[in-house]
């Protein structure tokens, strides 16, 4: 089976959907926005360097992009690139504000992808909104105290390799029917991300390999898109920042493969 019965992430989905009225009280409560912003005070220095670096690069790319793409496209690219980096940095720092940054960035990236005809990437962003961002907003402790584990050798890798091949073949065929102009990279991006998402749902430590590979492939997708004149280089730059963040998660002293925590629950404090 692709999804384990004891999987913690799916228990979280069940918990939020079962007690949705209670979880809905987590948003827009008194002091909610100051609480969200206050979480950013605990971000690491490296995270703020990434945010500042990306913002400066995006300002330059937005101004330069006005000569090659419509101004509206440049603004959308600017917003999607900055918000997406804030989302990724929020995830790295385990901040609940990531849900809002994820939701807003996914909306703008999906719009950017639609304008560039990267339809598979647009689908991916919609997937993030429905299955990740909204749940992170409803349950502020969504990423608290998650304990990951190993997939278990060659047999585990082969299972997910088969899943990836099936997904890629299906996505390639379906999006070929609508004449996706960058079918190879666009379908590859979606297939890798969906496979990584299944690994994430099963709390596998090796998911980070696929997310990193997905960042690299997505850089190629938006680089090709920019070279063909369908977008500027905003998302190329932001995904390069994603890659730096992934490398930090690999090698940082509190990175993905170093820090281990114990599962405690699914946001009971927030749902009361």
pTM over 0.75: yes
Give CA–CA dist 122/117, Å, rounded.
8
C-alpha separations of 195 from 89, 115, 166, 204 in Å: 22, 26, 10, 11
pLDDT (average), residues 252-264: 47
pLDDT reported for residue 187: 97
**Could you report the per-residue pLDDT of 202-246, keeping only the tens digit for each?**
878 888 889 889 999 999 999 999 999 888 899 999 999 888 877
Q: What token pair was written down for 116?
A: 């560039």
Give CA–CA dist 213/193, Å, rounded.
9
Per-residue pLDDT band at 143 (split at 50, 70, 90): low
Look at the alpha carbons of 202, 208, 209, 212 in this order and tell me if their dihedral is positive or negative.
Answer: positive
pLDDT reported for residue 271: 35
Sorted by sequence, the CB contacts under 8 Å of residue 159 that are 6+ apart come out as 2
**Could you report the per-residue pLDDT of 5-35, keeping only the tens digit for each?**
444 567 778 888 899 999 898 898 899 989 8
**Could you report the per-residue pLDDT of 154-179, keeping only the tens digit for each?**
888 999 999 999 999 999 999 999 99
Weakest mean pLDDT among 2-6, 155-159, 261-265: 261-265
Per-residue pLDDT band at 184 (split at 50, 70, 90): very high
What value, to the nearest 5°, has the Cα angle with vertex 236 and ends 61 and 182?
Answer: 120
pLDDT reported for residue 252: 61
3-state helix, strand and coil shares in percent for the chain, rounded to the nearest 5: 70, 0, 30
**Could you report the per-residue pLDDT of 58-103, keeping only the tens digit for each?**
999 999 888 888 888 889 999 999 999 999 888 878 788 889 999 9
130, pLDDT greater than 90: yes
């Amino acid at each position: 089976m692709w999804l384990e019965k004891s999987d913690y992430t799916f228990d979280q989905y069940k918990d939020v959907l079962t007690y949705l009225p209670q979880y809905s009280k987590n948003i827009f409560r008194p002091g909610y926005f100051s609480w969200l912003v206050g979480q950013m005070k605990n971000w690491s220095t490296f995270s703020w360097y990434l945010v500042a670096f990306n913002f400066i690069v995006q300002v330059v790319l937005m101004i330069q992009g006005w000569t090659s793409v419509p101004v509206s496209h440049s603004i959308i690219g600017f917003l999607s690139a900055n918000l997406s980096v804030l989302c990724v940095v929020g995830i790295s720092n385990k901040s609940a504000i990531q849900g809002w940054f994820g939701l807003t960035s996914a909306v703008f990236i999906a719009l950017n992808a639609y304008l560039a005809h990267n339809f598979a990437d647009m689908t991916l962003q919609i997937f993030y909104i429905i299955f990740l961002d909204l749940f992170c907003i409803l349950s502020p402790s969504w990423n608290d105290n998650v304990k990951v584990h190993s997939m278990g050798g060659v047999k585990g890798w082969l299972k997910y390799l088969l899943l990836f091949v099936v997904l890629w073949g299906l996505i390639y065929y379906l999006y070929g029917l609508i004449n996706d102009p960058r079918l190879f990279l666009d379908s590859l991006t979606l297939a890798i991300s969906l496979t990584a998402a299944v690994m994430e749902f099963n709390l596998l430590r090796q998911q980070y390999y696929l997310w990193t590979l997905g960042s690299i492939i997505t850089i190629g997708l938006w680089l090709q898109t920019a070279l063909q004149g369908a977008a500027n280089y905003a998302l190329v730059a932001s995904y390069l920042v994603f890659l730096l963040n992934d490398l930090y998660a690999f090698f940082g002293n509190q990175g993905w493969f170093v820090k281990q925590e114990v599962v405690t629950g699914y946001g009971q404090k927030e749902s009361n």
